[in-house]
Amino acid sequence: MQIPVTTLKAGTAAEVTALLGPGSSFQRKLRTMGIREGVRIKVVAVHPFAGPLVVEIGGRQITLGRGIARKIMVRAED
Amino acid sequence: MKRIVLMGNPNIGKSVVFSRLTGAEVITSNYPGTTVDFSRGRACLEDERVEIIDAPGTYSLQPTNRAEEVAVEMLRWADLIINVVDATNLERNLFLTLELLEERKPMILALNMWDEAERSGIEIDKKALEEHLDLPVVSTIALTGEGIKELVEKLHEARTPADLKALSEEEKWIDIGWISKEVQKVSHRHPGLADRLSEATIKPFTGTPIALMVIFSTFWTVRLIGEGLIAHLFEPLFELYRPLAMKMSAALGPGMLHDLLIGKIIDGNIDYVQSMGLLTTGIYVPLGMVLPYIVGFYLALSLLEDSGYLPRLATLSDNLFHRLGMHGHAIVPLFLGLGCNVPGALSTRNLETRKQRFIAATLLGLAVPCTAKSAMIFGVLGSYGQGYVFLVFAALAMVYVAAGLVLNKAVRGESPEIFLEIPPYRRPGFLTILKKTWMRIRWFLAEAIPFLFLGVLLVNVLYTVGFMEWIARIFSPFFEWWLAIPGEAVVALLVGFFRKDLAVGMLLPLGLNAGQMVVATTVLSLYFPCVATFAVLVKELGMRDTLKSAAVMAVTALLVGGAMRMALIG
């Protein structure tokens, strides 16, 4: 099942399954930052009050606005 | 002359490679007040004189902000490309590499941060990468200079690959996945101290108190350095200069030239703040009052930049900035602006949309006091008590937030969310920091001092021809009524159009009470940035938006001034 990465708790990880969202330029930007289908994404920190998410991909941390993060779908692991 | 352009993702040590290649021959700094945001330098490589251009970092050749547009623009002028690649992050960097290849210009690859890659357990087979890409590949450690010589020696091998197919984006990613699997071995490593520090500084509950501490100690350091330099270096120097200035004053005798160069003699002596002469106040304000803090500020800023802390601060402050219609990136114009608004205004181009840039630039000119403004606030109000100084800064901070909230609602357009890579912490290089600080100070000296001289000159001339009195007479009834400050203070406000810091000398002798002084200083800080910043705003925002922005500033200044008058004077 696919869930958005925003539903993960800080400290957990999952595999990216799809990128939603408008247009190829938005997705290109995600991909050029290393967020692509098949990679493992770990949530490092979730900032309160709908603040940004900090995720880790391939050993690199990236800060994402909540709305952007909602468009990153991951495979639910349990 | 052959043009070599350095291209690569942001934050991968491109500029360090640049300064290694150009050495002492760098002719402009990182923050020129000129047209675009790239650095250009000359060097003699392998007995050939070349021009080297350091383009802003970009992730791809489809720009998403103005800084990236500049990078793509630079590419057109290139005779040869040095593609600087982050060895610790090969896979992601290769996308730009594949795009650059399609430009069909001679290219060479520099795998930078080779040492960091080795430390974090990444092994890259250079030979294999060379074969896959059909390009010369050199490993470099720009910080220590390792590999730079080899890079220079191999420049003549730069080439366009023999058989090159144009690939779609998907095909590129497939290619990249395949290449990195072939040439790269990654072994697992245990998180070290830097990783734990990284986590602690970016999580909300540990990161926020740390951020407050960092900001506080930054300003404390700036003050310490500034005050130390004034007490032990600049004041003594100006006291040495005083007899000479007095001799000049005596030699000139009273008259126009004396007024222009030396200014007023107060109580039988030159008063560096109030005399208003070209060779007294004109030198003292920028060198004796502002420069010492500039030194401290840029030193601290360079440390924050090079250590990698700023992106963390951007993450933590994103929540606030997002409500003001920007995002965490806006911390950069804010921080730079505290030194000088001009580089602050230039750095707004890292924001993606017109709305964000407009808000960032307006708030910058409105409520971010540059070092000169801050020195003015301290200089004017210090003698009334530190509480009043605090009052002005608190008012500015509140205006920043309040105006941001309003502009976010009022300005049409998109305000995209933060999307920012967090680099690993790095130990800042001592020499790099000194060099960077020096470049920024030199830039300040070259830009600010001529403006200040012109300001003093203009003010003196306008005084002599009676223009100032005339203007003051027209406007003073309004200001007296609305802000309860005497007509003479209006002249100081007008002078503030050219130089805020000069207005200090004009406010001091008026004998204002504390409340009036706070109102005058706050309005002076708010209503308009200096002429230099205005010029940059016109360039960055266009004339229409700049005028709108200036109108917002003027109206806000009058409203806030009126409110403070009610609160403080009655």
DSSP-derived secondary structure for B472-528: HHHHHHHHHHHH---HHHHHHHHHTTT-HHHHHHHHGGG---HHHHHHHHHHHHHS-
Task: Check CB contact under 8 Å for B203 and A68.
Answer: no
Instruction: Please state, in angstroms and as integers, the Cα–Cα distance from residue B52 to each residue in B14, B141, B145, B147, following that order.
Output: 12, 19, 17, 18
CB nearest to B319's CB, from A32, A44, A51:
A51
End-to-end CA distance of chain B: 68
Nearest-by-CA chain B residue for A35 = B92
Cα-based angle B169, B171, B174 (whole degrees, multiple of 5): 115
What span, in angstroms and rounded, lies between the C-alpha atoms of A57 and A36? 10
Residues B174 and B209 occupy one common structural domain:
no
pLDDT at B25 (0 to 100): 41
Residues B208 and B256 occupy one common structural domain:
yes
CB nearest to A48's CB, from B204, B322, B416:
B204
Residues B234 and B154 occupy one common structural domain:
no
Count of residues making up chain A: 78
| Structure confidence by residue, pLDDT tens digits, B300-319 | 888 888 788 888 999 999 99
Residues 6+ apart with CB under 8 A from B168: none
- Which residues in chain A are closer than 8 Å to B417, comparing Cβ atoms? 52, 64-68
User: H/E element holding B3?
Assistant: strand B2-7
Q: What range defines the domain where residue A61 resides?
A: 2-75
| Residue bearing the bigger pLDDT, B256 or A64 | A64
Residues B499 and B430 occupy one common structural domain:
yes
| Structure confidence by residue, pLDDT tens digits, B320-361 | 999 999 988 888 889 888 888 887 888 887 788 899 999 999
CB nearest to A61's CB, from B88, B202, B327:
B202
Instruction: Answer left, alpha or beta for residue B47, where phi above 0 means left and psi between -120 and 50 means alpha.
Output: left
CATH classification of the domain holding B118: 3.40.50.300
Q: Which of B264, B240, B261 is nearest to B505 (CA)?
A: B264
What span, in angstroms and rounded, lies between the C-alpha atoms of A65 and B419? 6
pLDDT at B476 (0 to 100): 84
Residues B214 and B148 occupy one common structural domain:
no
Q: Which of B135, B62, B74 is nearest to B99 (CA)?
A: B62
Give the start-end residues of each E strand in B184-328: 184-186, 265-266, 269-270
Closest-CA distance of chain A to residue B437, Å: 28
Residue B192 lies in a domain: no
Q: What ipTM was assigned to the predicted interfaces of this complex?
A: 0.92
pLDDT at B33 (0 to 100): 23
Q: Which of B490, B510, B504, B498 is nearest to B456 (CA)?
A: B498
Three-state SS for B279-301 is CCHHHHHHHHHHHHHHHHHHHHH
Q: Which of B145, B10, B154 is nearest to B85 (CA)?
A: B10
pLDDT at A78 (0 to 100): 57
Q: How many CA atoms lie within 13 A of B344 on its CB side?
A: 32
Q: Which of B507, B469, B508 is nearest to B489 (CA)?
A: B507
CATH classification of the domain holding A65: 2.30.30.90
Count of CB contacts below 8 A, A vs B?
101
Residue B191 lies in a domain: no
Task: Check CB contact under 8 Å for B169 and A24.
Answer: yes
Nearest-by-CA chain A residue for B86 = A60
pLDDT at A44 (0 to 100): 93
Q: Check CB contact of B88 with chain A, cutoff 8 Å.
A: yes
pLDDT at B48 (0 to 100): 83
Residues B177 and B208 occupy one common structural domain:
no
pLDDT at B498 (0 to 100): 67
The predicted model scores a pTM of 0.82
Last residue of a domain, one of B122, B151, B186: B186
Residues B42 and B90 occupy one common structural domain:
yes
Instruction: Please state, in angstroms and as integers, the Cα–Cα distance from residue B28 to each residue in B7, B38, B75, B547, following that order.
Output: 18, 9, 19, 30
Structure-block tokens of residue B162: 């023999």
End-to-end CA distance of chain A: 11
| Structure confidence by residue, pLDDT tens digits, B48-71 | 888 988 888 888 888 877 778 888
Last residue of a domain, one of B153, B186, B219: B186
The tally of domains found in chain A comes to 1
Structure-block tokens of residue B395: 């008012």
Q: Would you place residue A28 in the very low, low, confident or very high pLDDT band (cuts 50, 70, 90)?
A: confident
Residue B194 lies in a domain: no
Average pLDDT over residues A39-46: 92
Task: Check CB contact under 8 Å for A65 and B417.
Answer: yes
The tally of domains found in chain B comes to 2
Q: Best mutation site among A63, A66, A68, A70 for testing chain B: the one with the most B CBs within 10 Å?
A: A63
Q: What range defines the domain where residue B249 resides?
A: 204-568
Residue B198 lies in a domain: no
pLDDT at B445 (0 to 100): 82
- Which residues in chain A are closer than 8 Å to B416, comparing Cβ atoms? 65
Instruction: Please state, in angstroms and as integers, the Cα–Cα distance from residue B19 to each residue in B45, B54, B70, B432, B439, following that order.
Output: 13, 9, 19, 9, 12
Specify whether the CB–CB gap between A33 and B92 falls below 8 A: yes
pLDDT at B27 (0 to 100): 31
Q: Check CB contact of B317 with chain A, cutoff 8 Å.
A: no
Last residue of a domain, one of B143, B159, B186: B186
Question: Could you say which residues of chain B have pLDDT below 50?
Answer: 24-36
